[in-house]
Amino acid sequence: MAKDYFKGKGIEFEDIDVSEDRVAATEMIEESGQMGVPVIDIDGEIIIGFDVPRIEEVMKRKGEEKSAGETEAEKIETTEKTEATKKIYDVIIIGGSAAGLTAALYAARREMKTLVLAKDIGGQIAKTLSIENYSGIEKIQGPDLVRIFAKQAKNFGAEILIKEVEAVEEIDSDGKKMFVVKAGDMAYKSRTVIIAIGKTPRSLDVPGESEFIGKGVSYCATCDAPLFREKTVAVVGGGNSAFEAALLLSKIAKKVYLIHRRKGFRAFEAVLEEAKSTANIEFVLDSVVEQIKGDEFVRSIVVKNKETGESKELDVGGVFVEIGSEVATDFVKHLVELDGVRQIKTNKNTETSHLGIFAAGDVTDTAFKQIIVAAGEGSKAALAAYNYIHGFENKYVTDWSKHTHKNGHKQK
């Protein structure tokens, strides 16, 4: 999250909400050539998305944050590298959303040396405008809930770094099993690992899609909808997320095509009926998107009817892809058992098939992909990792002053 990043570095910035400021939205699109957020302007140089390496490269080149010939970013990076080579963490948590940050909170409270590595903080929650089903909180915006998660974890001593993990390996260190987690040019050591990376949006995989990402193709209606005011757009999908995107866009865009490969839907009846009664939503059923076309931005899509074989071109200024999500578990597939859709298999204690590796949240084969479920599993994973390190069994004991060690004797 760009704002939290700059605050953490002590860098002053101006925050412009393009969902509220129409003029700023237009200017942002004209200057950046993008129809997606965030867009970061550093002294006239445009950065698309929350790209930390790019941000730091631009600041370094422009001489931002200089102090005694060395930028603050360089100082922080040097300190991180030095400290990382010295430390052996009790747990490294991969992922920075509900499951990962809750795991960090519980692990830190157990006095475990805790490191969170995440390519971003918040994941899909940070792209959700309103959450009304998190117990104890009547209504909250997604980014605000994530900030609470992260603040709680940090308050108890968890370290959080914005780094994308590329590999996890097991090594032998002085006769003890240890994990090495590689992220960029860094390698972090830990006794246990919790994988909580969540899901990533599934793509259409059609010509034009990748070329127009940020130029009319979006995977987050709650993020980018305000940039499509008074335009004609298409939403692709037939589940709850597709209908929620269509309903949100119907209040902003001139017209919304809802394109689905079948006649039937997986969405809840309530949202389905609301969409059917919304005048500017048009259903295009039994159809698939074959191609996305445009010049600088998206201008049209080619849609094929699966029943008739007929193709037609629809003039649209935006395409919102809402066809579900997938998990990116290739980096650990050599260590843990996956199911048919590459989710990590876990037992009721969040243990994977590999001792010392735990998993929580949407990346696992749990049937229920909800924020509160992910948070609960994150707490279980942290407690299970603690028990693993100390040789405790993961089972209920009636007397909390005693706990059976796996070798049979009692711990007090």
Which residues does the annotation mark as catalytic?
220, 223-224
The Cα–Cα gap between 380 and 106 comes to: 9
Of 234, 273, 227, nearest to 252 (Cα)?
227
Alpha-carbon distance values, 370 to 134, 221, 350, 361 (Å)? 9, 19, 16, 8
The Cα–Cα gap between 172 and 356 comes to: 13
Strands 281-284 and 287-294: unpaired
CB atoms within 10 A of CB 66: 13
* Cβ–Cβ < 8 Å for 254, 336: no
* Cβ–Cβ < 8 Å for 310, 302: no
Please report, as a single letter, which amino acid is at residue 393.
E
State the burial class of residue 360 (Cβ atoms within 10 Å of its Cβ: 0-12, 13-18, 19+).
buried
Token output for 59: 């600041």
